[in-house]
Structure formats: C-alpha cells, structure tokens
Amino acid sequence: MSDGASKVRGEGLSKTDVGRYILRELNGYHRPGKILDLIPVITDPEGSWLLTVEWVDTPVDQGEVKGLKVKFADTVTLTDSSTAAPIPGTAAAELAGDGSEAESRRGDISTTRWTKLTQSGEHENGMTETVMVRAENFTPSHVGKFIGNSDPESGVNYLIKLLNFRVVNEGSAPGVTMWIRHGEIDGRPRYDDRWHVPFDQEFEFTTITAL
C-alpha cells in the first residue's frame, strides 16, 4: 500500500479531500486516483458521495477520468501518493522487486506455419507457437503473454492476455488467481476479468509471429 495511506469511512469524506488520492485494486495493482470533485447524493437515503476521479496509469491500464459512488458505510483508502504498485505476492510484484524475469518452465512447443490472403489481395505468412502450461508452473515471465480461449456462445477462438497472477496456497480453495484481459471479437468488446483456477489446470500459451 502507498506511503501515507489511511482508511476512512465514506461518511468521513469531505471537500478537503479533493486533491488527495483514493486507492483501489485493479488487475493485480493498487491503483491511485486523484479526487477531482465529490458531491453528496441527496437521493440516497443511506447517504453516499459521487466522486470524480482521475485514475493514474498502471502497466496494464491507461489513465482515465471516471465517476465513483462511495456509500457512507463504505471504507476507502486515501493516500497522498500518485504511484501505482503491484499487489504484494503477485508475479508483477516479483518482477518489480528485482527487475528480472524468471525463466518460463516450457513444455512441448507445437509450431504451425500459415499463409492467409489479406483484403488487399496480398499473402501474409506467419508462424504460431503453442505450449501447454499448468497453472502451478506459471512464472513471472508469463505475465503479458497470451492464452488461447474460446467464446462459449459463438464458438469463436480468440486470445486472452495474462495481466498478473498470484499463487494462493492457504484457505479452502488453493490455486492460482489470474487477472486477465479478453480480446475483442465481433459483437463483443474487450473486457477484464479475474479467474481463480486449480493448480493442475492447463492453459495454451500462444505466440503469433509474422514471417
């Protein structure tokens, strides 16, 4: 958590907090957002604020200005720091700690060369490499790479990007928590998601190279 952070209830917010940063978790990062304005929602009988927040960039998300509703009963974290940081214990935090990438534990790689006809009538050549990796064998070097997936409704094959992950050994559901970004397909925009999978679940990591 960022330096100078403190937890407050929503009812404790005031105009004096404009200019400070509010923290939230997104895709495996603590992401600060600068409070630009806050107004009370007078139609809410339980009491709430509508904040205008300028969220900072993270390695996987671009900055943006969005509204955020905070109920008086909610607990939020305020900070004076504008720096995003990976959640401790995640692969991104490990990468940030030493600046190096652990070597991938690679399985058997399948390679396919292909040629397709573009809309302009030209031929485009490429190569697709795929390798199956169990969740328990993920390393920080897998962060930022792509996994083959299929849309259950349309049956369309597409790629998802591994944004971050964390190994969970304790609790009632040990496994790997994955922060992912689904690629865009016809009729559906890209979106972010979080999965928690068992250690033995396998994923098909895919690399496409133009030749």
Q: What confidence tens digit (pLDDT) does each residue in 109-145 have?
A: 677 765 665 667 676 777 788 899 999 999 998 999 9
Q: Give the residue from 88, 128, 91, 124 showing the smallest Cα distance to 110.
A: 128
Q: What's the chain's average pLDDT? A: 87
Share of the chain above pLDDT 70, in %: 88
**With 60 as the cut, is the pLDDT of residue 58 above it?**
yes
Predicted pLDDT of residue 102:
47
Q: What span, in angstroms and rounded, lies between the C-alpha atoms of 165 and 142? A: 9
Higher confidence at residue 200 or residue 4? 200
Q: What is the mean pLDDT of residues 181-206?
A: 92
* pLDDT value for 117: 59
What integer pLDDT is reported at residue 98 of this predicted model?
54
pTM strictly above 0.85:
no
H helices of the chain, in order, are 91-98
